[in-house]
Structure 1
Amino acid sequence: MASLKNSCFNKVRMCIFPKFYTYNTEDPEDYAFAGNETDGFDFTHFNPKFWAKLEKRISQLDELGIQADVILLHPYDKWGFSKMDKETDILYLKYAVDRLSHYKNVWWSLANEFDLLPWKSVEDWETYARVVMRRDPYGHLRSIHNCVKLYDHTHPWITHVSIQRIDVYKTSEAVTDWRKQYQKPIVVDECAYEGNINFGWGNITGEEMTRRFWEGCIRGGYLSHGEVYVQHKQIWWAHGGKLHGTSPERIAFLKKVMEDVPDGSAPLELTDGNHEANWDVPCLCKEDDHSYYLYYFGFFRPAFRTYELPEGCSYEIELIDTWDMTIKKLPGTYSGSIKIEMPEKQYMAIRMRRV
C-alpha cells in the first residue's frame, strides 16, 4: 500500500483466490471459503475473516484513488478453487458481488487467462457474466482476460477489452487494430513485465516497458505495469513490497503528458489530407481544429524530421525525451514546411500546440 501511495498507478489487478505458481508457492493466511488445505474446504460456507481483509484493502485503494480490478477466477491453483462445479462457481460469484459491489472503485474481471481453464465453456463464462450483472446494481466495469486465445470481446456484457499481448514482440502496437475490431476501450493488462526472470513474459527492460506504454497510449489505449526482479526476496508481481524497476517514474512522466492532452483528441489516421509525416510513427492529435499533435518515435532515432503543417496554422513545438523525462521548447513558432532538428536518440516525442 505504501508503494502504491507513492506511485502514479491508478488501477491494480487483484485475485480473490490465492495463486500457486513459480515464485508464489506459499499458502495464504486465510481463504475465501471456510477450511484449509489440510482439512479440506467447505464450499457451502464463506470465511468472514478473509472477506473482511479483502474489503479493507479495497477500501484503502479507494482512499488512494486506485481502482481495484477484481479477478474472480483463475487457473493457477492447487486448492481446488479453479475446478469447483458450476453451482459452486455461481454461489461464490453471487457472494463476491454482493460483498464488494458497493465499493465504487471495483471492476470485475471474470478471469485471469480464461483459456487456461478449458473445462469451463464459453457458455459457462456467459452464464457467469449474467450472474455478475444481475447481482451488481451499480453496473461496474466488466471484462475477461486471456493468455493466448482471445475472448470474443464484442459480447455486450463486456465494457472494455482486458487483453494480454499475444505476440512475443508485437504488443501495444496492436492497440490500433483492437480498437477498430472491438470498438471498445482497450486495456493491455499484460504487455509483459519489467524484470529478469527466466520466462519471456518477465524480463523486458525498463526502456522497453516505457516504450510499450507510450506506444499504447498514443494509439488510444491503456496499459498495466508489472515487475519481477528475481534477486529481490519480494517480487512485486506476486507479493507486493517495493518497486525496484526504472519504468514507474517514466510512466508517471507519461501520465502527466497524457493529462495535458486536449479533450476530444484521438489517434491520427493516415489520410491524404493530414500531416504527411505520420505514416511511420503513431500520433495522438485533435485533428478537427488542428490544435494539437503528439508524435512518438519509439526506437526510431532520426536526426531531423520534416513536416507540412496545416495551412494557416502556427505552432509552438516541444521535444520530449521520454526516458530522461525532459521537455524542451523550441524557439519561436512554426508554420508551413518545417524541419525539426532531433538528437538521434531513441524514445523521443514531438509535441505541437497551435497558437
Structure 2
Amino acid sequence: MDVIFKPQVAKWDVFEVELKGKTEGNPFTDYRIQGYFKGEQEQVTADGFYNGDGSYKVRFMPSYEGEYTFVITGDFSEGEAEGKFLVSAARKENHGPVRVVNKFHFSYEDGTKYYSIGTTCYVWELQSDELIAETLKSLFATGFNKIRFCIFPKHYDYNLGEPRSYPYEGTPIDSSILTSDNFNDYTASLGNLKKGNDWDFTRFNPEHFTHIENCIYELGKRGIEADLIVMHPYDRWGFSQMTKEQDDLYFNYVIARFAAFHNVWWSLANEYDLLPEKSMEDWERYASIICEKDPYHHLRSIHNCFGFYDHTRPWITHCSIQRQELYRSSELVNEWRTQFGKPVVLDEIAYEGNIQHGWGNISGEEMLRRFWEAALRGGYPGHSECFMSHDNILWWSHGGKLKGESWKRFQFLHDIMLDTPGYGLMPYEKCGWDEICGVPEKEKEEPIKDYYLFYYSFMRPSFRTFYFDDKNEYDVEVIDSWNMTIESRGRYKGKFHIALPGRAFMAIRVKKSLS
C-alpha cells in the first residue's frame, strides 16, 4: 500500500498520512479509516476521512517531541499501513491549543498567557481570493487573536450572494431572484425555496473543506484562533434542516478534518435557539460526538440569540454569549461568572457600524467601553463592525478592510492585559460603587491585592482619592483608553489624590512598589 507522509513535523503542527483506497459505492459512508499514533508520552486514536479521487487521510497533532509510530487501519483498503516519524520542537509562533486555566481564564498549552481579543466575520473564508488575502492582512494588523466564522455559507441581509463553494455535491437554488428589496418576502417563503436545492447530504465536497483548512492554517501562522461555527440558522440551502443521520455524518467529517489544527475552537452553533428543527437532545448528541471524536479536547461552546444554553453543562468549556438586553452587556460579566463558573466570552456585545439593525450600529467609543468593562470584570469581549459602503462589503460577514475606530485601540488594551500578573483579572467589588476595578485572580478565585486597574467608562471625574494602607507605597499611572496613552503620576503612600482630565474612558493603574 502506498503511504505518503513527511518524516518530521513540529510539535502541535498537523501530521498527515495519505493513502489510496476504495472508490466503489460511496466512500464517504461505506468505508472507515482510523489512525493510531504512539509516542513516549502519549497515545492517540484519530478518525480519518475520504478526500476524493480515491484519497484517504488521517491527521494527528503531536503534543510532545520525540519519535512516534503510527498504524492505519480500516476497511477502506486491504491490509494495514504503518510507519514512524520524528516530532521536533514547536515553531516559535505555535504555543499549542488554548486551554482553560484558573477556572475563568485561558492560556496556551505551553503556559503562555492568552487574552482573547476576538472578532466575528461569518463567511470571510467563502469570499474571493483577493478579499480573503485582504482580510488576513487586516486581522494581522489589528492584533485580533480569535475570529468566529461559519463552515456552512450564510444567508442574511447584506449577504445574499453565493459562496465560492458548497459543502456537498449538488446544485443550489437559483439565487438570481434575491435582492435586498425582496429579502423579507423571500425569508417568509424560505422553507419552500429550500426545497429547490439538490444536494446529496451523504457526499461532501472536499474542495470546500480543503479551502477552509488552508484558511485555518493561515490564521494559525498569524497567531489567530479559528472559532468554527459548525451550524447556524441563516440558511437558504437546506443545511440547517438535515436529518439526524446527516447531521452526525457532518459532525464526524468536520472533526476528522479540522481537529488536528492547534488553533481550532468548536462552536456548535451560532444562535442555536433559532434552529427549531433541532432539539436539546440533538445539541447534546452533537456535543457527545465532539467529546468522543476530538482527541485533543479543543475548547467547546454554543452561542445563543435569546435564551442562554445551560453553560454549566460539563462538555462546555467556556460561555459564548450574545447579550440579551438592549443596553447592558459587559456590565453583567460578574453575574455570568457566578452563574456559570466558567470563562465568559462575549462573542456578541453589538457591533460598531451604521446599518439599520440595533445590533449593528453602536459607536466605536461604546464598543471600546464595553471591551474595557468586560476585561476588568474578568470577561473576554468580542468585536465586529457593520458599515454601509458602496461595495456592500461588511466586515461582519465578508471581511476585507476595517472601517471603524474601536479596533485601532484593542491592541493597546491587550498589551495592558498581558502586563498584568497571573492569567486574568477578576472584579474587585470592594472598590467604589461608581468605578470598575479589576485585580489579578489567583487559582482559588482570590484577588492579588498589589495590582489594581480602575476604569471610569463614560463618567468624567476630575480626580479620584485612594487609600490602601499606611505601610506600602504604590506606583500610579493614568491611562487614556481612547487616545492610548499611559502617564506616570509617581509613587504614593497612605491617602492620596490623583487628578484626571475630566474626559470619558479614563483608567488608573495602581501597583504596589517592589522597591
Tell me the alpha carbon deviations over residues 66-117 of structure 1, each in whole angstroms, 9 at most, x when there is no partner.
Answer: 0000000000000000111111100100000011000010000000000001
Deviation at 1:304, TM superposition (A): 1.1
8 Å contact 2:376–2:427 — kept in the other structure?
Answer: no
Give 1:34's aligned residue.
169
Output the CA distance in 2 between the equivalents of 1:326 and 1:133: 45
CA distances 1:273-300 after superposition (whole Å, capped 9, x unpaired):
xxxx432221112475532110010011
Determine the structure 1 residue equivalent to 2:403: 244
Aligned to 2:224: 66
Task: Go from structure 1 to structure 2 and tell me whether the alpha carbon gap of 1:95 and 1:265 turns closer, same or farther (over 3 Å shift).
Answer: closer
Contact 2:329 2:349 in 1 (8 A): yes
Q: Are residues 24 and 270 of structure 1, via their aligned partners in 2, closer, same or farther at CA, if it must alter by over 3 Å?
A: same
Partner of 2:500: 342
The corresponding residue for 1:22 is: 157
Counterpart for residue 138 of structure 2 = 3
Where 1:181 maps in the other structure, the secondary structure is helix
The structure whose RCO (Cα within 8 Å, separation 6+) is larger is 2
Measured at CA, do residues 268 and 162 of structure 1 come closer, stay the same or move farther in structure 2, by a change above 3 Å?
A: closer
Deviation, 1:221, is 0.6
Preserved CA contact (<8 Å) 1:191 1:223 = yes
Deviations 1:24-50 (A, max 9, x none): 000112111111204611101000111
Equivalent residue, structure 1, for 2:233: 75
Gaps of 5+ in 2: 1-135, 174-196, 441-445
Task: Give the letter for the 1:136 counterpart.
Answer: D
2:447 and 2:322 map into 1 onto residues whose CA distance is: 32
Q: Any conservation in 1 of the 2:378–2:427 contact (CA below 8 Å)?
A: no
Q: Is the 8 A contact 1:194 1:209 kept in 2?
A: yes
Contact 2:450-2:512 at 8 Å conserved across structures? yes
Residue 4 of structure 1 aligns with an amino acid whose one-letter code is L
Q: Give the equivalent residue in structure 2 for 1:148.
A: 306
* TM superposition shift of 1:232: 4.8
Larger displacement relative to structure 2 (41-50 or 283-292): 283-292
Aligned 8 A contact 2:457 2:504 in 1: yes
Q: Does 2:214 align with 1:56?
A: yes
- Give the deviation of 1:264 after TM superposition: 5.9
Deviations 1:202-234 (A, max 9, x none): 000100000000000000010111011012522
Q: Which amino acid is the alignment partner of residue 240 of structure 1?
A: G
Q: Superposed, which structure 2 residues align to 1:72-111 within 5 Å?
A: 72-111=230-269
Report the counterpart of residue 317 of structure 1 in structure 2: 476
Residues in 1 aligned to 2:239 and 2:468: alpha-carbon distance in whole angstroms: 58
Residue 127 (1) aligns with residue 285 (2): yes
TM-score, scaled to structure 2: 0.66
**Equivalents in 2 of 1:241, 1:126: separation in Å?**
35
Matched to 2:210, the amino acid is: A
Deviation of 1:150 after TM superposition, in Å, equals 0.6
Q: 1:288 to 1:206 in 2, by over 3 A?
A: closer
Contact 1:304/1:342 (CA < 8 Å) preserved in 2? yes
Question: Which residue of structure 2 aligns with residue 266 of structure 1?
Answer: 425
2:428–2:439 contact (8 Å) kept in structure 1:
no
Mapped partners of 2:458, 2:331: distance in 1: 13
Deviation readout 1:140-160 (Å, 9 max, x if unpaired):
100000001110000000000
Q: Which runs of 4+ in 1 moved over 6 A?
A: none
Change (3 A) 1:192 1:265: closer
Q: Does 1:190 align with 2:348?
A: yes
Secondary structure at the aligned position of 1:6 is classed as helix
Distance change >3 Å, CA 151–CA 63, structure 1 → 2: same
User: Could you say which structure has the higher strand fraction?
Assistant: 2
| 2:487 maps to which of 319, 323, 328 | 328
Structure 2 residue aligned with 1:235 = 394
1:256 corresponds, among 415, 425, 430, to 415
Aligned to 1:281: 435
Q: 2:250 & 2:423 partners in 1: Cα distance?
A: 41
RMSD, aligned α-carbons:
1.3
